[in-house]
Structure 1
Amino acid sequence: MKRSIKVFAPATVANVVCGFDVLGFAVNEPGDEVIMRLTDKPGVSLLKITGDEGRLPLDPDKNTVSAIAKHYLQHIGQPNAGIEIELHKKMPIGSGLGSSSASTVAGLFAINTLFDNQLSNKELIPFAMKGEELACGYGHADNVAPALMGGFVLIRSYSPLDIISLPFPAELYAAIVYPEVDVPTKDARQMIRSKVYLKDAVTQWGNVAGLVSGLFMNDYELIGRSMTDVLVEPTRAILIPDFYVLRAMAMETGAIGFGISGSGPSVFALTRDKETAKKITQNLQQHLKSLSINSLAFVSEVNKKGPVVLD
């Protein structure tokens, strides 16, 4: 049995425009790292956190990484095992890129590996969902499922939980831009209307089905015209500076489709190649700079592996 492990878990793009809480995909960067060690001292301790500017709790019951590690140990019948954890945030908090998910998944994958992989990555999803509940008040799976499984993921049902890995075009790239403005996930969720018109629901169902079909068929045009959201995006777009200008710029530069990543403020475009993705991020960052808004950009293939052991 290993005594120490270092794990990376990827950021994710949840919703993929039309699939609120049911679609998501993983990217190669950014992500988070967790170092975990077995010790002879009983209990789970969180030794340090870096890269969070002091925003995350060190209390092992309040931090998602350590709290879910405790939950995992209870499940496998090792509640008194000794664990020391370091969390190294390599991605912005509150970016809409699954920051809490990446931390939780890295920790879960680490502890499961240390204890001889008693559960599959798919079986770890309910544990990771508890981490999301701790972080933002709701245990959704559209970040943690792709972070654990890699690729594109569909959550067909939450009760019972039914997770499906989807195929996707091998050449697909994501262009991601994070404008450094504050959009807390809890606040963004509260803005969503609780009732929708049937005609809007029908439109949304058609787009989700179209997007999934497009991924199966490698049909870029179908993927693109399905990336339309009539339920959530119209409200959340208000929180993102010049959202519709950014979308128009991305589409003019060759994006297949464009939307908000998770609850925002990050936005993303899907493209057929890396060069187009790079051009889109450059153009969007330049526009945000003209608005005196700093931003970070990431260009990535769809991550196929999920979490990985670094050493």
Structure 2
Amino acid sequence: MKRSVNVFAPATVANVVCGYDVLGFAVNAPGDEVIMRLRDEPGVIITKISGDEGRLPYDPAKNTVSLSVQHYLNHIGRPDVGVEIELFKKMPIGSGLGSSSASTVAGLFAINTLMDSPLSKMELVPFAMKGEEMACGYGHADNVAPALLGGFVLVRSYEPLDIIKLPYPEELFCSIVFPQIDVPTRDARQIIRSKILLKDAVVQWGNVAGLVAGLYTKDIDLIARSMKDVIVEPVRSILIPDFYKLREIAMENGALSFGISGSGPSVFTFTRNEDDARIINEKLQKHFLWLDTESIAYRSPINAQGPIILD
């Protein structure tokens, strides 16, 4: 049995425009790292957190990583195990890219590895959802499932939990721009309407079905025309400066789609190649600068593997 392990877990794009709380995919960068060591004294402790600007708690009952690890140890009948955790935040908090999810998934993958992997990645998802529940008040899986499983994921049902990995065109590339403004996930969820018109629901169902069909058939044109949201995006877009101008810029420069990553404020596009993704990132960042807003850009294919061991 290993005594220590270093794990990287990837950022994710959740919702994927029309798939609120049911669709998500993983990207290669950014992501978070966890170094975990077994210790002789029982209990889960956090010894180091870096990259968070002092925002994350060391209290193991209040940190998503330690909380989910303790739930895992209780579940496998090993509450006596002692663990110390070092968390390295390599991605921005509050970016809409699954920051809490990446940390939690890295921690769970690490402890499962140290325990000789008694659970599959799929079986780890409910423990990661516990961390999401603490982070944003609701234990959704559209970030943690792709972060754990890699690739593109559909959450068909929450009760009971039913998660399906979807195929996708390998040439799809993703560009992401994170404007450095604050959009807390809890606040972004609270502004969503609790009631919607049936005609809007019908449009949304059609788009989600079209997107899933496009992924299965690897029809990029069908994917592009299905990525429209008439329910959540019209509300959340008001939290992002010049959202519709940003969309116009992206679409004029080769984007297949444009939308909000998770609850925002990051925005993302799909493109057919890396060059288009790079150009779109440059154009969007230039516009954010014009708005006196600093931003960070990433570009990546869809990450197929999820968490990896670095050492």
The interval holding the TM-score normalised by the smaller chain is over 0.9
Equivalent position of 2:6 in the other structure: 6
1:227 to partner: Cα distance: 0.5
Whole-angstrom distance in 2 between the partners of 1:85 and 1:227: 39
Equivalent position of 1:264 in the other structure: 264
Say whether residues 1:52 and 2:55 are aligned partners.
no
Say whether residues 1:28 and 2:22 are aligned partners.
no
Whole-angstrom distance in 2 between the partners of 1:222 and 1:42: 53
| Residue ranges of structure 1 left out of the alignment (5+ in a row) | none
Whole-angstrom distance in 2 between the partners of 1:88 and 1:123: 25
Percent identity between matched residues is 71
Runs of 4+ in structure 1 over 4 Å off: none
1:177 to partner: Cα distance: 0.1
What is the root-mean-square deviation in Å for CA atoms of aligned residues? 0.4
Whole-angstrom distance in 1 between the partners of 2:157 and 2:69: 25
Equivalent position of 2:62 in the other structure: 62
- AA aligned to 2:82 is G
Q: How does 1:211-222 map to 2 (within 5 A)?
A: 211-222=211-222
Equivalent position of 2:172 in the other structure: 172
1:120 to partner: Cα distance: 0.2
Q: How does 1:1-311 map to 2 (within 5 A)?
A: 1-311=1-311
Deviations 1:228-269 (A, max 9, x none): 000000000000011101111100000111100000000000
Whole-angstrom distance in 2 between the partners of 1:80 and 1:244: 53
Whole-angstrom distance in 1 between the partners of 2:220 and 2:288: 28
TM-score w.r.t. length of structure 1: 1.00
1:41 to partner: Cα distance: 1.4
Whole-angstrom distance in 1 between the partners of 2:79 and 2:309: 24
SS of alignment partner, residue 183 of structure 1: coil
Whole-angstrom distance in 2 between the partners of 1:192 and 1:34: 33
TM-score w.r.t. length of structure 2: 1.00
Whole-angstrom distance in 1 between the partners of 2:255 and 2:223: 11
- AA aligned to 2:310 is L
SS of alignment partner, residue 130 of structure 2: helix
1:80 to partner: Cα distance: 1.4
- AA aligned to 2:95 is S
Aligned length: 311
1:42 to partner: Cα distance: 1.3
SS of alignment partner, residue 84 of structure 1: strand
Whole-angstrom distance in 2 between the partners of 1:203 and 1:216: 20
1:218 to partner: Cα distance: 1.2
Whole-angstrom distance in 1 between the partners of 2:3 and 2:259: 43
SS of alignment partner, residue 257 of structure 1: coil
Deviations 1:82-115 (A, max 9, x none): 1000000000000000000000000000000000
Whole-angstrom distance in 1 between the partners of 2:58 and 2:232: 34
- AA aligned to 1:23 is L
- AA aligned to 1:34 is V
Whole-angstrom distance in 1 between the partners of 2:42 and 2:148: 27
Deviations 1:127-152 (A, max 9, x none): 00011001110000000000000000
Whole-angstrom distance in 1 between the partners of 2:14 and 2:146: 9
Whole-angstrom distance in 2 between the partners of 1:28 and 1:239: 26
1:32 to partner: Cα distance: 0.2
1:126 to partner: Cα distance: 0.5
1:291 to partner: Cα distance: 0.9
Whole-angstrom distance in 1 between the partners of 2:77 and 2:159: 26
SS of alignment partner, residue 123 of structure 1: helix
Whole-angstrom distance in 1 between the partners of 2:43 and 2:15: 36
SS of alignment partner, residue 45 of structure 2: strand
- AA aligned to 2:7 is V
Whole-angstrom distance in 1 between the partners of 2:62 and 2:242: 36
